[in-house]
A = this chain, B = another copy of it.
Amino acid sequence: MSEDNAREIVLSLEVDDPALADRLATLLGSVAGLRLAAPGETATASVVARDPRIMPDDIALTQRELDVLALMAEGASNKMIARQLNISVHTVKFHVGSLLDKLDATGRTDAVAHAARRGVIEL
């Protein structure tokens, strides 16, 4: 051992809470023999939040938003979602818009990732 086994440990922070993540990054960043992972890098181990309380009040998504979100996670386009839910594409866009807003996401892919991370949906 003491060879590749004793290499620098790469830790990835997978904590949603920005404050906690920041503190951890500060604390862990200065530990010798330990390094924080770059985005996309495969880490030796991960630091994950210990309580499912990541959402204040579930962020309160409406039932319709949940419907749209589930179909988004299946890779459905707005048109497909509209057909599936028997509503217009405009309405789908409307719900997607609220979703992006509530989940603080930049796009539908980001929204699905965020939702999965906080357990709103299961992949």
Q: Which residues of chain A have a CB within 8 Å of any CB of chain B? A: 1, 5-6, 9, 11-12, 14-15, 19-20, 23-24, 27-28, 31-34, 39-40, 42-52, 66-67, 69-75, 77, 105-114, 116-117, 122-123
Give the residue of B27, B39, B108 whose beta carbon is less than 8 angstroms from that of A109. Answer: B108
Top 7 closest pairs, chain A to chain B, by CB: A75-B110, A40-B70, A109-B109, A43-B50, A75-B106, A116-B123, A117-B123
Chain copies in the assembly? 2
B44 near A46 (CB under 8 angstroms)? no
A52 nearest in chain B by CB position: B42
Give the residue of B50, B70, B77, B112 whose beta carbon is less than 8 angstroms from that of A112. Answer: B112
B9 near A23 (CB under 8 angstroms)? yes
Q: Which of A67, A112, A117 has the most CB of B within 10 A?
A: A112
